[in-house]
Structures are given as C-alpha cells and as structure tokens.
A and B are shown apart, each in its own frame.
Chain A
Amino acid sequence: MTMIDTTPSRRSVLAGLGGLTFCIAVGSDGVRLMSQAQANALANASVTPWVRIAPDGTITILSAGAEMGQGSMTSLPLIVAEEMDADWSKVAIEWTPADASVYGYKNPIGTEQLMWIVGSRAVQLYFTQLRTAGAQVRKVLIANAAQKWGVDAATLKTEPSVVINPANGARMTYGEIAAFGTIPATLPAVDPKEFKERKDFRLIGKSQPRRDTPSKVNGTAQYAIDVKLPGMVYASTLHSPVHNAQAGIWDPGKQDQSAAAPESWNDAEIKAMKGVIAVVKLANGLAVVADHFETAKAGRDALKVKWTRAKADGFNSDQALADYVRIHADPNAQAAKLEEKGDVKTAFASAAKTYHAEFRSDYGYHAQMEPLNAVVRLNEAGNKAEVWEGSQAPDESRKAVAKALGLKEEQVDFHQCYMGGGFGRRSLGDYAAECALIAKEVRRPVKLIWTREEDIAQGMFRPQSFQCLEAATDASGKVTGWKHCVVGDGEFLLITGIKIPYYGVPNQYIERRGVSHGIKLKHWRAVGHVFNTFAIESFVDQMAVDQGMDPIEFRFERMGATPKARKVFEALAQMSDYKAKRPDGRALGISITERSGSLGAGAVEISLDRTSGKIRVHKVWAAIDGGLIVQPGAAKANVESAIIYGLSSILHERVTIKDGAVEQSNFHDYSLMRMSDLPEEMNVTFVDVDTRPTGLGEIGNPFIAGAISNAFYRLTSKRLRHLPFTPERVLETLKA
C-alpha cells in the first residue's frame, strides 16, 4: 500500500486502467455501485474506483476502515471479497479517499454520510453496503462469462475468482473476464436474500491474517509521523496550560484578545535560536517552526508566554467533583431527561425496600502511543492542500483543514496513514488544522508533532462524573423502580451506557445534570460506559448481596435480565467455572458489558495486597454477543485489547486538574499498565448467533470496573466507589 503518492485525479484513474473498474456513486438512494459508463455520464457526480479487477487477476478493493490497530482495514474489503467470491490472496487493499459523500456510511443517528471509524462502527455500519457491492460485482462477472459462453447466467457458479459452468466444467477466471468484459449501464440489483448463506462463507467467520501485520514487525508501516516531504520543516507547539486560553496579554477592555501579540511571548529570543524559522500563533497556543524537530522542540521549550484568561482558569477537578454532589442535591438544578418508563414515583412510594448508592469517576486520557501529529503541504498558489494524518475520521479532518485554510473541501486531498492508536482522540482533525495554518504561514510543507507533554496537557479527556443511583424493590425483592442521575461536563459523552435495555426494570427515570468547565473532553474507548456500567453493576451487586442472592441469579430473577443478557451470563458462568471455589485470598466479580449493539458478560478473579493497596487481576473472562463475527481472530484481539485498556484505566490512570492546568505530564505520573500487571489468563468467547455484526472494538472495556469492584467486595466486604482504584484509594476504602 502506497500512502505517500499524490493521488491522481479521479478521471485519470478511471481512464488509465485496464480491466474492469466498478465505480461507486451516491444518489438519493444512498451509496451504490455503478458502471464506468454510467459514472462518466453523470456530470459532476462524485465518482471513484471502488473495486478494480485487472486482467492478471489482481483485485483491488478500497478500504474505508481507518486502521488504528483494530483490523478494520482488512475486515471491510474482506466483506466485499466474500460476496464477490474473490480469491483473497489476489486482493490488494488501498485506502479510499476521504470523501464521505462517496465512501461514507449513513449516520445511524442522522441523515448525513460519515466515514468516522468511532464507536466500534466500521464493520457493523458498512456490512450490508459492502456485501451488496461485492454481490453486484459477482453478478456482472457471471453475466459476462454467460454471454461469452452463450449460456444462461443462472446456471453458472463461482469459486474464488473463477466463474464455473457446472454443465461442462468450463472455467473462466475473473482476470480473464476483466480483459474483455463490460459493465452494464445499470448494475444488477441485489436482494439481501441473494447474499451468501453463512454455510457458504469462505472468508467471513474464518480468520484471515491482517494485511497490516508484516509492515508492523519491520518498521515499514507508515504512520503520519513518518512522512517526509521535500523541503519539509518541523513544528512543535506549546498550547495554553489552561485549556482554550490564547497567547496574548489579557486586556479586560478589549473584546477581541486575538490581536494581542508577539510582545506576549519572547518572540525575538526564540526566532534568534539556531534553526528556528518562525513562531506561529495558533488559536490556543504557539508553534515554533524549525529545520528539524529537535530544534523546533528546543524553541518550544524555551517559550515564555503570557496567556489570556480562559473559562477553566482556577478549575480544580477534585473541587468540581465535590460540587457535582451539590448539583445532584439541588432540586432546582437543570436536568436533561434521558429515559422515563412507567411510574417511578409510585414504584418508590410503594416499595418494600429502597436502595441508594453514589459513585465517582476521574478524568481519563487516551494515551495513544503515537503522539498527535500531521503533515500538510500547500501548493504555490495556496489553493490546494494535502494532508497526511492517521485519522479516525478522514472526512472530518479534511473539513477541519479546509476550514482553517479558507478552502473548499475539494481543494484538500487527504492521505490516510496508520494510526499509532486512536481510542476516540483522532476524529477531529484539530492538530491537522493547526498544521495547515502553520504551513500556510511558512509557505513550506510542515510536519507538526505534539510532544507527549502536550498530548497529555491538551488531552481531550473522558469526563469525570458523579453518579447517584436509587432502586425500589417490591415485597418479592424484584427491582421495580430505578433512578440514575449522572452529573458532570461533557453532555453526550457523559451518558453513553447509562440506559439499561438489558434489564427489565419496569419503572425508570434516568437523567443528566450538566456543568461546563472549559476543559476539553472527547470520546474515549466506550467513554461513559466506563463509569456508567461501573455504577450500574456495582449497585446491582450491592442489592444482590443485600438480598443474599447469587449475583447472576439476582440479575435473572430480580432485574429481569433479557434473554440476550441471560445467554451471555450463562456462557460466562460456564467458561469461568463460576461456582467453583477460588483459591484463598482471591475472589470473582462479574458485570454485564454493553456497547455499540454488542452485549456481553465479564468476570475477573482478583487478589489484594492489603499493605500496599494494590489489586492484582489474575484471570479475566468475557462472553460476548457481537452478532455474526466477521473476523474471529481480530475480534478476539479487540476484546483482549479493550480488557487491558480497561484494567489499565481502572487500576492505574488518573488525570487531575489544578488551577486550570493538567497536573500529569508524561508516563511517569500518568502511569499505564505494564507487562508485569498482565493477568495470567484472558479468556474471550463469542456466543454463536446469526444476527448482524455489532461493534467489538470497545465491548471488552465497560465491564472491568464493575467486575473488579464486585470481586473486591467479596474479598473485603467494602465497596470501591471512586474510579480509578489506585492503591491509595483502596487503602482508604479498607480503612473506612
């Protein structure tokens, strides 16, 4: 896969190819394949090659699966190849351009087309669209062979990359067909009933090696940070320590502070440094541009800046958490209703017993291994820009760059690169837009790299939160009323995973109470699920303990677990030998897990060092219903990865903000899980179902906190109620 080549114009790509080129276009009916003739006839339509079959049999399939380690780059073309009946060994993969109108999926919660590979969306949202495309290509190939042979197309079959006539054993390869074949003006329609049956799959459900692996063991995988262009210079940024401030002298009398300028920092001193080319002012910081990165960074480190005021001035995260409690207690506080079912008031008024619990969670940082970076080049006239970035949302990034430069999106070419981790951070294009502004100012290609310290200080975090849960039970112990209030900043980020569709509690009221601190927040591997599932499942466990019931039985009998939920708990119980006695000093805890349409149940076996407060997780089990599993190997790797991500965040990671600034600065004080904390066992299983694929990139994460907390209770009869469970917190809990 070549990623540094300048993309030739689409028309020239179409014109220059031998063989069959299927095009894709967007119409009122969504994305569809079309013939080249049809594509060329459509004036001004967005047209790009999607599947190309060369006479030598090579099949090139474009992938919209931004690759951050989850394997989508391989899984998406594989879906096309399955329905095409393509010989996978002859399939080459290329990135699609960043054109969402052509390559996007329909936003499930809107009408627009998106390419965002977020929320575990890639396979689940592209699945049907790509199967249809693959099936159409296969039909065309068969039709061409039928015509050549003078037989009825309906009598023909395919084997990988070969059309076969069972009547006489004649065979024609896809490559041979590509050499003479034509594509009809209107492509054949495909009814989903015509899709391959599961028993006939050759690729789906059968793990294929990921295509990016070989390049990731010899240093050749191209990340944006590796891109080098002729004449390129380097930029290192210093952003305001308090989020969203500007470099400038604060003048309370002035409306527009942005005019305040070089006298607000040691401009002359920096510019006099050897190798420094420029100091560029950005919305929330400064960039030092130099001949090499180390020179730019030295300039950046030497910057002394006066910052304007910002909303987050004086913000203290611990204090804010305390304030959340008051907001929750305030009957006049504004609340957004998220769920209202049945009659909660009556359920509580007539309850045999009520329960109440509170939970807290701190900010979390993505900590993707590749610090944020981008490369941008503008042409001489300044009316054409190229961006190299590893992006979860290339369409969004292209938009951000175009906006920053005052260009139209069509004037920006986006070159996708591998991402050294994404986890939700890489979907805004904010740093690419910064790089574009710098490139515009210095009129040279620029590589911008955020230092790790910048990456943390300017982290867009998983929000912190306070949660209060209440439940009402009837005389039989059944949970009949449920109230959950989450308080914090971050609006939609705060509420993911707060609903409980997997339980059948008849009367529910769920709300969010929002505040705004001016701290940058962002999606983060399952975001709100981390603290919401923790709170929900710890609370459920608390009730199970109170009623003296087995926690799984309690979920079945008293929480009205749905059949889908029962199935994953049953699978979990079996795989973890749930009833077995654990070794001395160890205990098992369980939790449900839910994200992006997938549902699962997880368990951990832990021990505790009561002197240090360190929790050790020895074994982990997860039973997941993710629908049809397209690539079992990659799916398992995703769940394992999210388990480790969960363990790391729940046991180690904590962002605190004091006087408006993030207190952590690198991996010495934002500590990530290392190999020595690896559980001895991780067991992942997928329940066998035929339903459509659902998201699997994050489902391994949400159960970790609840499962650990519930296991901890079994060991100590104490409840951990504040994420993360750092040794200090554990010791405090033990003392309490």
Chain B
Amino acid sequence: MVSFTLNNRQVSVDADPRTPLLWAIRDHVGLTGTKYGCGAGLCGACTIHVDGTAQRSCQIDVGAVAGKTVVTIEGLSPNSSHSLQKAWVAEEVPQCGYCQSGQIMKAAELLAKNPKPSRADIIAHMDSNICRCGTYHRIIAAIQRAAMEG
C-alpha cells in the first residue's frame, strides 16, 4: 500500500511499490487523463507534477511518491480554468489530443517558474514532449497567450 496526495486528495494504492506511477494513477486510481505513449521516458505523454516538478510518470515507481504531492491534468484546475487550458482552447491546439495532457502539465511547470518565458525558453523547456500531430507552433502560441493573459 502506497499513500500520497493526488490532486488534493489523499490516496492509497494497493499495488507493488515498483509499479510505474503511470499505471497506478490510470488503472489503480482510475484517472486516465495521463497517457501512456512510450513507457520509456521519451515522449512526455505521461507528464505529471511531483511536488511541483514535471516528471515522467512512466519512469517513477509509485513507491517513490509515498507521502508526496502528485498533480495530474485532472487536478490542474477544477473546471479547465487554468490559464493554459483556456489558452489551449483559444489557440485550438489539440488535434488527436493524446499528448496534450502531458504538454499542458509540462507547460504549467514552466509558467510556475518563469511567468514570462521567451520563445526560446518555451522551446527549450517543451522540447522533451512529442506531438505527432505537429501542434508545436500552437503550443508555443498558447503558452505565450497564457503568459500574457495570466
């Protein structure tokens, strides 16, 4: 049994502590907004926050987040009201949408640390996250919009 805070809620997961956090969140807890893309820390589709830092949930054992605070896309805001979520809608970023939870979580980490990032800052920060539909330019525009509109 591993206990941690997930989206402001205390959860206990009855899984082998070596279970990847990704599957613990998706299958054991049942929050499916966090996606499986590569299982190898290469694409960023499973990006979540652990104590405020963006992490690849496929690369962390659930046992490693015991007592920590985890936030997934479902916990970013209660009603899609985070500035990034609003900007993502305004810029019509998603196509297939599968990578976007990870993209938004990665971007949220950036804005938390650097509220007015330059284009170069955005690219350097977001380069780890793959979007196969090629929405990169809209992701940049959405982050810039969120930074401006707050």
With A and B bound together, what is the CA distance between A213 and B142 in angstroms? 14
Report the minimum CB–CB distance from B62 to chain A (whole Å).
10
Choose among B39, B76, B89, B131 the residue that contacts A452 (Cβ–Cβ < 8 A): B39
Using an 8 Å CB-CB cutoff, how does the interface string of A668-703 with B read, 1 for contact, 0 for none?
100011111010001000000000000000000000
Would you call B74 and A219 a contact (CB within 8 A)?
yes
With a CB–CB cut-off of 8 A, which chain A residues contact B45? 369
With a CB–CB cut-off of 8 A, which chain B residues contact A225? 32, 35-36
Q: Does B11 contact A (CB under 8 A)?
A: no
With A and B bound together, what is the CA distance between A667 and B114 in angstroms? 29
Question: Interface residues of A: mostly helix, strand, loop or mixed?
Answer: loop
Would you call B30 and A219 a contact (CB within 8 A)?
no
* With A369-B45, A369-B132, A668-B40 as contacts: A216 and B126 at CB distance below 8 Å: no
Report the minimum CB–CB distance from B70 to chain A (whole Å).
14
Interface residues of A in 208-244 (CB under 8 A from B): 209-210, 212-221, 223, 225-226, 228, 234
Give the interface size class of chain B.
Answer: 35 or more
A682 nearest CB neighbor, chain B only: B137
With A and B bound together, what is the CA distance between A225 and B122 in angstroms? 30
Q: Does B6 contact A (CB under 8 A)?
A: no
Q: Does B42 contact A (CB under 8 A)?
A: yes
Interface residues of A in 397-426 (CB under 8 A from B): 418-423
Number of A-B contacts (CB under 8 A): 168
Would you call B135 and A219 a contact (CB within 8 A)?
no
Would you call A69 and B94 a contact (CB within 8 A)?
yes
Would you call B127 and A672 a contact (CB within 8 A)?
no
The interface on chain A, measured as residues whose beta carbon lies within 8 A of the other chain's beta carbons, has a size of: 58
Report the minimum CB–CB distance from A695 to chain B (whole Å).
16
Would you call B95 and A644 a contact (CB within 8 A)?
no
With a CB–CB cut-off of 8 A, which chain B residues contact A668? 40, 42
Choose among B74, B132, B136, B140 the residue that contacts A367 (Cβ–Cβ < 8 A): B132
Report the minimum CB–CB distance from B65 to chain A (whole Å).
15
With a CB–CB cut-off of 8 A, which chain A residues contact B126? 675
Most chain B CB inside 10 Å of its own CB: which residue of A217, A294, A640: A217
* With A449-B36, A667-B42, A674-B130 as contacts: A369 and B95 at CB distance below 8 Å: no
Report the minimum CB–CB distance from A347 to chain B (whole Å).
41
Would you call B139 and A292 a contact (CB within 8 A)?
no
Q: Does A258 contact B (CB under 8 A)?
A: no
Would you call B98 and A675 a contact (CB within 8 A)?
no
* With A217-B100, A218-B73 as contacts: A644 and B134 at CB distance below 8 Å: yes
With a CB–CB cut-off of 8 A, which chain A residues contact B99? 369, 420
With A and B bound together, what is the CA distance between A648 and B132 in angstroms? 9
Report the minimum CB–CB distance from B59 to chain A (whole Å).
13
With A and B bound together, what is the CA distance between A209 and B38 in angstroms? 30
The residues of B with any CB-CB pair to A shorter than 8 Å are 15-16, 19-20, 23, 26-28, 30-40, 42-43, 45, 72-74, 76-77, 80, 85, 88-89, 92-101, 104, 122-124, 126-140
Q: Apart from A218-B77, A292-B28, what 12 extra A-B contacts exist at CB < 8 Å?
A: A216-B94, A218-B33, A219-B31, A228-B30, A292-B19, A293-B23, A368-B96, A369-B37, A451-B39, A647-B134, A675-B126, A675-B127
Please name the 6 residue pairs, one residue from A and one from B, whose CB atoms are nearest each other, closest first.
Answer: A219-B33, A644-B134, A420-B98, A69-B95, A216-B97, A69-B96
